[in-house]
Chains A and B, each alone.
Chain A
Amino acid sequence: MKRISFCTFRCLIICLILILGTTGCWNRRELNSLAITMGAGIDKLEDEDVTDQLQLTVQIVKTSEIKVGDKGNSSADAFWNARNTGKSLFEVIRGFTHQSSRKLYWPHNQVIIFGRSLAEAGIREHIDFFVRDQETRLGVWILVAEDQASDIFEVKPNLERIPAIGLANLLKAQKASSQTTAIKLDEFATRLMSKTTAPIAAFVKISGQGSKKSLLVTGTAVFKQDKLVGELNKTETRGLLWVLNKVKSGIIDVVSPESNGKVSLEIIRAKSKITPEIIEDKVHMKVDIKEEGNIGSQSCTDDLENRQTIKKLEDEKNAAIESEVKAALSKAQKLNADIFGFGDVVHQKFPKEWKELESRWDEIFPDLEVEVTVEGKIRRSGSSKKAVAPAKE
């Protein structure tokens, strides 16, 4: 203390006070000044007369309705769907200041839904804001609505209070069946930035009528560049996920080798590997899938507890998995959309040849030869060995 002269001391104090002033409350916001956005739906208005053809629907949480202590007795909606139209997305978002007393707060946004017509017209210009802005996050789910995205937010979920959260949880639950592509913005944007790989997203539909409406997430929306070109059904989607190494769990039904009854096999773990090969200037792809599973249930009374039967079941399972992959492949080749990312794999393995292949990839892909090998195993049979039936003589 003594060594510091008073001049330095004075300077130090002045500096400290000034530092506090300059940094000041530059983004200080109280919790009750935020409009917490849970979901965003982007649509293209079909009306030809309207100049502002871009419509954004945001789902904002009414925090006053979720007040702790009221044990869910309020029948009022805990959300508010605000709508605004404009020419560009950022302009539309700022335009909400005209109707919302609080500024939109994006970090907790769960889902981004594109309306079908907008997806068909192209989404690149609308994705940019969500990737660039510092408030939005890359961990948000991307979906495509079968019709208008704004309708999706009106459907009240049965278990959650806020539709967007219901939708996000729905997507999280999809890994139990592996029949829907649940994709987040970061991966979607990566695919969008690739020259060959086609972006994919989950499809969301409204099923039922009137008050019995509910949301259904199923299948895959396939984009070519940034335009929606087609969709995969459940089986094809799982075929795609096998190749992408994204199958976590799921059920495969096979026919019992003894009788005509069904045996359901549960997927426990799966692994896949894509190896490209260039033979005589022709590109071949090899997809190796390794799978392990259990017997989940059987609808027949057959005794499955012997090696031969298990082996036969494994073969049937392998064939089923292969057919799923083939179905996805043929659909993708028909749409000429490289949803598997084969192009990028070839790029990584053969960077020199890729320079030449890249421009021709659209011609190569539809006729690409893909060899699928599946190695499936059945490990356990659950808690019971025998079927729930009298033993056969």
Chain B
Amino acid sequence: MISYILKKLRYLKLLNVNYADDQKKQGTSEYGQSTPIKLSQSLEKNLIAIRNLIGNNFDVIIREFSFGDHINVALIFLSGMTDQSMINENIMKPLMSESHSSQNETLKIKDIAQIKARILSVGGVNQYSSYDEIIDGCLSGQSILLLDECNEALAIMTTNWKSRAVEEPKTESVVRGPREGFTESLLTNTTLIRRKIMSPDLKIESMKLGSRTKTNVCIAYIQGIANPLLIEEIKRRLNRIKTDSILESGYVEQFIEDAPFSIFSTVANSEKPDAVAAKILEGRAAILVDGTPFVLSVPMVLIESFQSSEDYYSRPFFASLIRSIRFLAYFISIFAPSSYVALTTFHQELIPTPLLFSMAGAQEGVPFPAVMEAIMMGIIFEILREAGVRLPRPVGQAVSIVGALVIGESAVTAGLIGAPMVIVVALTAVSSFVVSAQSDSGGVLRITFVILAGFIGIYGIVIGQLGVFIHLASLRSFGTPYLSPLAPLSIRDLKDTIIRAPIWAMFTRPRTIGWHDPERQEFRLKPSSPSEETKEQNKAVR
């Protein structure tokens, strides 16, 4: 097994070296190809060329017509990605009717710039002169207008396709707070953020990733708050991506994350515009990927997983209570099964006597050791969860009912599994849903700790815990220590960790994230009763 792992590692290393070589070669070859093929003067030639490139697709429509003084033009667009009525009303109609009604000077229009300036009543119009640009534009939903005897083309923004409306996100529902969530459309998503932060400093920079999917990826940040080095680093990492497809933000995440072999993710994701806006306002940068409602944000710290946007909308006392309960639930979800295994197989003396009796009574006649029970139950739970998530809802319910009956009732009455173990596993399962951002790392840790506890009891749990802490302390996310503000300790930033301070008390941004323009608000904003002066003023008014 070891030799197999080593072989794999060597292979990975080799890939790395080869990749570096490739990159060098590609760099040179790209520059060699950088002169794009220009459009020719003849419409016929241009159309032939375009037909050769994309013409045999059923959704590509090439409409040839003429207007005015028999000027031949061609309109090329994708039927599914364009607004038909817009093409009819704002492109075809002006061109054709204009040329017929006033037959004086417009007839002489042979210049494409004049069409753009005087006829087309559309907002976004670009002028392209190469095939590459035309094809790219056409495939992203623009309509291309080709003119005879002209070596330039107009790309008209008619982009419109069916997309999901803004709905309440499935992953992060709230009781209090905005209910809108990101959609699959990049433009909608940037709009949602823009609507939260109407500042000219909000910059949304775009780039295309994926040689075949040509996915639009945007970086959103606030100039003046976000660290410029961070933005530079994000761009550097994004530009490194040389792949043919980006289908979801998860692709991007795995290409740019700091610790690809860590069970902890160093890139956060969210479906809620308000959460992302808050992160941007703290000095983070958001990475939006077209085609997914999940927006990435970097840098990420561990504490973020325990924060919910609702914490800031409800009053601080309850929010702090809920925060601490989240921490508790996370620890339960990781340590409950392993502690149970350790206590029942190694440290029975730590269990209170009456509890020991009932636990021993329940364990009487159970055929498996506690470790086996814990691992089996854990796996069964994961199977049930997976089945429930993927299946359509009515079937999913059936699965969960069967699972709950089989595991909860029958296994205990049949004497296959002790009742306390069922309780522990159920508690763990419920707790693991509380901190959903860390549920994947929690699952791995849980199983690891159960195995360690099965070998050497609490000693094993402590060793494992130590290892996890060392690992966490060594993690960085885009230069920010993963455990900050707890380690390295930043007392000023503790206001938003286990305790959520009132909004008026959080007058600085977290210093570990950016620390540019640290002041969020004025210092003395605590609401208080009116001062003597204002009281007297009020009296005078009365």
In the complex, whether A24 has a CB less than 8 A from a CB of chain B is yes
Flag if B345 contacts A28 (CB, 8 Å): yes
Within 8 A of B (CB), among A197-240: none
In the complex, whether A1 has a CB less than 8 A from a CB of chain B is yes
In the complex, whether A32 has a CB less than 8 A from a CB of chain B is yes
Shortest CB–CB separation between residue A279 and chain B, in angstroms?
51
Could you say which residues of chain A place their CB within 8 Å of the CB of B360? 31-32, 34, 36, 61, 63, 66
In the complex, whether B357 has a CB less than 8 A from a CB of chain A is yes
Shortest CB–CB separation between residue B2 and chain A, in angstroms?
6
In the complex, whether B381 has a CB less than 8 A from a CB of chain A is no
> In the complex, which of the residues B2, B364, B366 contacts A10, with contact meaning CB atoms closer than 8 Å?
B2
Within 8 A of A (CB), among B413-452: 419
Flag if B346 contacts A27 (CB, 8 Å): yes
In the complex, whether B359 has a CB less than 8 A from a CB of chain A is yes
A20 to B359, CA, bound (A): 28
A119 to B10, CA, bound (A): 74
Q: Which residue of chain A has the shortest Cβ distance to B412 in the bound complex?
A: A69
Within 8 A of B (CB), among A12-65: 13-14, 20, 23-25, 27-32, 34, 36, 61, 63-65
Flag if B358 contacts A68 (CB, 8 Å): yes
In the complex, whether B54 has a CB less than 8 A from a CB of chain A is no
In the complex, whether B177 has a CB less than 8 A from a CB of chain A is no
Contact A34:B348 (CB < 8 A) given known A63-B360, A67-B362, A108-B356: yes
A36 to B354, CA, bound (A): 12
Within 8 A of A (CB), among B60-95: none
Could you say which residues of chain A place their CB within 8 Å of the CB of B261? 1
Flag if B364 contacts A32 (CB, 8 Å): yes
In the complex, whether A9 has a CB less than 8 A from a CB of chain B is yes
In the complex, whether A310 has a CB less than 8 A from a CB of chain B is no
A166 to B197, CA, bound (A): 70
A36 to B357, CA, bound (A): 9
A108 to B348, CA, bound (A): 9
In the complex, whether A80 has a CB less than 8 A from a CB of chain B is no
Could you say which residues of chain B place their CB within 8 Å of the CB of A24? 455
Q: Which residue of chain B has the shortest Cβ distance to A32 in the bound complex?
A: B363
Flag if B348 contacts A107 (CB, 8 Å): yes
- A120-138 vs B, Cβ < 8 Å mask (1 yes, 0 no): 0000000000000001010
A20 to B459, CA, bound (A): 12
> In the complex, which of the residues B10, B362, B369, B459 contacts A30, with contact meaning CB atoms closer than 8 Å?
B369
Shortest CB–CB separation between residue B250 and chain A, in angstroms?
22
| Contact-residue size bin, chain A (C-beta under 8 Å from the other chain) | 20 to 34
In the complex, whether A165 has a CB less than 8 A from a CB of chain B is yes
A1 to B370, CA, bound (A): 36
Within 8 A of A (CB), among B225-273: 261
Q: Which residue of chain B has the shortest Cβ distance to A165 in the bound complex?
A: B353
A125 to B34, CA, bound (A): 97
Could you say which residues of chain B place their CB within 8 Å of the CB of A32? 360, 363-366
In the complex, whether A96 has a CB less than 8 A from a CB of chain B is no
In the complex, whether A105 has a CB less than 8 A from a CB of chain B is yes
Within 8 A of A (CB), among B1-44: 2, 5-6, 9-10, 13
- A94-110 vs B, Cβ < 8 Å mask (1 yes, 0 no): 00000000000101101
Q: Which residue of chain A has the shortest Cβ distance to B10 in the bound complex?
A: A6
Could you say which residues of chain A place their CB within 8 Å of the CB of B346? 27-29
Shortest CB–CB separation between residue B499 and chain A, in angstroms?
37
Interface of B, secondary structure class, is: helix
A224 to B310, CA, bound (A): 71
Flag if A9 contacts B357 (CB, 8 Å): no
Could you say which residues of chain A place their CB within 8 Å of the CB of B344? 30-31
Q: Which residue of chain B has the shortest Cβ distance to A106 in the bound complex?
A: B349
With most chain A CB atoms within 10 A of its CB, the pick from B345, B356, B360, B457 is: B360
Could you say which residues of chain A place their CB within 8 Å of the CB of B370? 30-31
Could you say which residues of chain A place their CB within 8 Å of the CB of B5? 13
Could you say which residues of chain B place their CB within 8 Å of the CB of A34? 348, 360
Within 8 A of B (CB), among A148-199: 165
> In the complex, which of the residues A20, A29, A30, A61 contacts B357, with contact meaning CB atoms closer than 8 Å?
A61
A110 to B352, CA, bound (A): 12
Could you say which residues of chain A place their CB within 8 Å of the CB of B455? 20, 23-25
A23 to B361, CA, bound (A): 29
A23 to B452, CA, bound (A): 11
Shortest CB–CB separation between residue A218 and chain B, in angstroms?
25
A65 to B357, CA, bound (A): 10
Shortest CB–CB separation between residue B248 and chain A, in angstroms?
27
Could you say which residues of chain A place their CB within 8 Å of the CB of B376? none
In the complex, whether B456 has a CB less than 8 A from a CB of chain A is yes
Shortest CB–CB separation between residue B492 and chain A, in angstroms?
34
Within 8 A of B (CB), among A278-298: none
A325 to B349, CA, bound (A): 40
Contact A66:B348 (CB < 8 A) given known A9-B6, A10-B6, A30-B369: no
Shortest CB–CB separation between residue A111 and chain B, in angstroms?
12
Could you say which residues of chain A place their CB within 8 Å of the CB of B345? 28-31
Shortest CB–CB separation between residue B418 and chain A, in angstroms?
8
Shortest CB–CB separation between residue A10 and chain B, in angstroms?
6
Q: Which residue of chain B has the shortest Cβ distance to A108 in the bound complex?
A: B353
Shortest CB–CB separation between residue B301 and chain A, in angstroms?
23
Could you say which residues of chain A place their CB within 8 Å of the CB of B358? 66, 68
Within 8 A of A (CB), among B303-362: 344-346, 348-349, 353, 356-362
A96 to B185, CA, bound (A): 76
Shortest CB–CB separation between residue A88 and chain B, in angstroms?
25
A339 to B427, CA, bound (A): 52
- B444-478 vs A, Cβ < 8 Å mask (1 yes, 0 no): 00000000000111010000000000000000000
Flag if A13 contacts B2 (CB, 8 Å): yes
Flag if A31 contacts B359 (CB, 8 Å): yes
Shortest CB–CB separation between residue A4 and chain B, in angstroms?
10
Shortest CB–CB separation between residue B479 and chain A, in angstroms?
19
Could you say which residues of chain B place their CB within 8 Å of the CB of A137? 349
> In the complex, which of the residues A20, A27, A63 contacts B361, with contact meaning CB atoms closer than 8 Å?
A63
Could you say which residues of chain B place their CB within 8 Å of the CB of A65? 361
Shortest CB–CB separation between residue B363 and chain A, in angstroms?
4
Could you say which residues of chain A place their CB within 8 Å of the CB of B366? 32
Shortest CB–CB separation between residue A316 and chain B, in angstroms?
44
Q: Which residue of chain A has the shortest Cβ distance to B16 in the bound complex?
A: A2
Shortest CB–CB separation between residue A248 and chain B, in angstroms?
23
Flag if B6 contacts A67 (CB, 8 Å): no
Flag if A6 contacts B364 (CB, 8 Å): no
Shortest CB–CB separation between residue B319 and chain A, in angstroms?
39
A113 to B26, CA, bound (A): 88
Q: Which residue of chain A has the shortest Cβ distance to B420 in the bound complex?
A: A68
> In the complex, which of the residues B9, B348, B357, B459 contacts A6, with contact meaning CB atoms closer than 8 Å?
B9
Shortest CB–CB separation between residue A23 and chain B, in angstroms?
5
Q: Which residue of chain B has the shortest Cβ distance to A61 in the bound complex?
A: B357
Flag if B349 contacts A107 (CB, 8 Å): yes
A107 to B352, CA, bound (A): 10
- Cβ contacts A to B, 18 pairs, < 8 Å: A13-B2, A20-B455, A27-B346, A29-B346, A31-B344, A32-B363, A64-B364, A66-B360, A66-B361, A67-B361, A67-B362, A68-B419, A105-B348, A107-B349, A108-B348, A108-B353, A108-B356, A137-B349
Measured CB to CB, the residues of A under 8 A from B are 1-2, 6, 9-10, 13-14, 20, 23-25, 27-32, 34, 36, 61, 63-68, 105, 107-108, 110, 135, 137, 165
Closest 10 CB pairs of A and B: A107-B349, A63-B360, A31-B363, A67-B361, A66-B361, A64-B364, A31-B360, A63-B361, A32-B363, A108-B353
**8 other contacts beyond A13-B5, A67-B362, with CB at 8 A cut-off?**
A6-B9, A29-B346, A30-B370, A31-B344, A32-B360, A61-B357, A63-B357, A108-B356
